């Protein structure tokens, strides 16, 4: 069962109001910062940028990260990736976990900085060490791939678990695959099902397909063709070819659904498209 090797990216996103409000409360913010929150909420980004800049210049790391995001997305200021990198560096060096993660993404992709896997690793590690879930997941991918570090399945599992416990669906799926295959952990079908279920319930199509397969084969759960069909269908409707074939097979064999060759052919055709 394949794992997902796509890292999560967060660079160049619009800073959200939820993040802004969190900053306001977590920082016991100054009047300037609170004024920035109010302006941001009103979508007066120029005024928000001015207010946040005043706080950022006082070496406030999280405000610096917010300024970086506004430069990156062109909110309240002309879009400027160079300035975004400058402010992300300030924020990251000041200990802001989100900025450390974003800086890692930028180095991993060579966006605004020279591509540098070791720098990406450094910033992911700093962010992950502070409990930032996306960075923990990306570290898992790095160790699974052996990129900038020796390939290490056990270390990949360690970081996938940390991210999975914080609700990262891709980490839950990859952890499920590791348990299903016995890579980096002893094989444990029940644990595989548990993590597939978590990811599947978040709508991750690959996990839905694999959960269907576990029910179809009775691995880690009692064999249940109806449940298998349910999960295959969810994944198939998201365009996963393997799930479309699996669902077609269930219709062709009359497992979990009435036998229906027309439906079977329909799903096979979708998979072939």
pLDDT band for 1, please (50, 70, 90 cuts).
Answer: low
In a domain, 51, yes or no: no
Q: What is the mean pLDDT of residues 218-240?
A: 98
Task: Give the C-alpha separation, 65 to 20, whole Å.
Answer: 11
Please give the mean pLDDT across all residues of the chain: 90
Alpha-helical segments (H) within 78-204: 81-93, 97-109, 117-129, 133-145, 153-164, 169-181, 189-201
In a domain, 169, yes or no: yes
Output the pLDDT for position 172: 98
In a domain, 111, yes or no: no
Using a pLDDT cut of 70, give the percent of the chain over it: 89
Torsion sign, CA atoms 172, 173, 178, 180: positive
Write the pLDDT tens digit of every residue in 187-216. 999 999 999 999 999 999 999 999 999 999
- For the record, the structure tokens of 195 come out as 């993590």
Write the pLDDT tens digit of every residue in 62-120. 889 989 999 999 999 999 999 999 999 999 999 999 999 999 999 999 999 999 999 99
Q: What is the mean pLDDT of residues 23-44?
A: 68
What pTM was computed for the model?
Answer: 0.87
Residue 226: domain span = 164-273
In a domain, 75, yes or no: no
In a domain, 140, yes or no: no
CA distances from 46 to 2, 11, 23, 43, 140 (A): 46, 21, 18, 9, 38
Q: Which of 27-36, 88-97, 251-260 has the lowest mean pLDDT?
A: 27-36
Q: What backbone torsions phi and psi does residue 211 show, to the nearest 5 degrees?
A: -65, -40
In a domain, 94, yes or no: no
Stronger pLDDT, 33 or 220, i.e. the higher one: 220
**DSSP class of residue 219?**
S
In a domain, 237, yes or no: yes
In a domain, 113, yes or no: no
Task: Give the C-alpha separation, 233 to 172, whole Å.
Answer: 20
Q: How many domains does the chain have?
A: 1
Output the pLDDT for position 32: 77
Task: Give the C-alpha separation, 134 to 181, whole Å.
Answer: 24
CATH code of 269's domain: 1.25.40.10
């Amino acid at each position: 069962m394949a794992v997902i090797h796509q890292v999560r990216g967060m660079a160049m996103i619009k800073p959200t109001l939820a993040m802004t409000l969190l900053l306001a409360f977590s920082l016991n913010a100054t009047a300037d910062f609170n004024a920035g929150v109010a302006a941001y909420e009103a979508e007066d980004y120029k005024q928000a940028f001015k207010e946040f800049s005043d706080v950022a210049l006082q070496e406030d790391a999280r405000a610096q990260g917010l300024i970086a995001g506004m430069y990156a997305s062109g909110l309240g200021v002309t879009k400027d990736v160079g300035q975004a990198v400058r402010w992300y560096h300030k924020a990251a060096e000041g200990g802001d976990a989100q900025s450390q993660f974003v800086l890692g993404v930028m180095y991993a992709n060579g966006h605004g900085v020279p591509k540098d896997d070791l720098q990406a690793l450094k910033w992911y590690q700093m962010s992950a060490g502070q409990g930032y879930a996306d960075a923990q997941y990306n570290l898992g991918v790095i160790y699974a791939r052996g990129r900038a570090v020796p390939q290490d399945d056990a270390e990949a599992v360690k970081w996938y678990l940390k991210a999975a416990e914080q609700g990262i669906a891709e980490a839950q799926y990859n952890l499920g695959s590791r348990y299903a295959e016995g890579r980096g952990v002893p094989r444990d079908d029940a644990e595989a099902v548990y993590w597939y279920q978590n990811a599947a319930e978040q709508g991750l199509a690959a996990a839905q397909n694999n959960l269907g397969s576990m029910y179809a084969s009775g691995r880690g759960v009692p064999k249940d063709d109806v449940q298998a069909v349910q999960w295959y269908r969810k994944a198939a409707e998201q365009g996963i070819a393997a799930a479309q074939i699996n669902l077609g097979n269930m219709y062709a064999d009359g497992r979990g659904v009435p036998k229906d060759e027309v439906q079977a052919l329909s799903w096979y055709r979708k998979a072939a498209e």
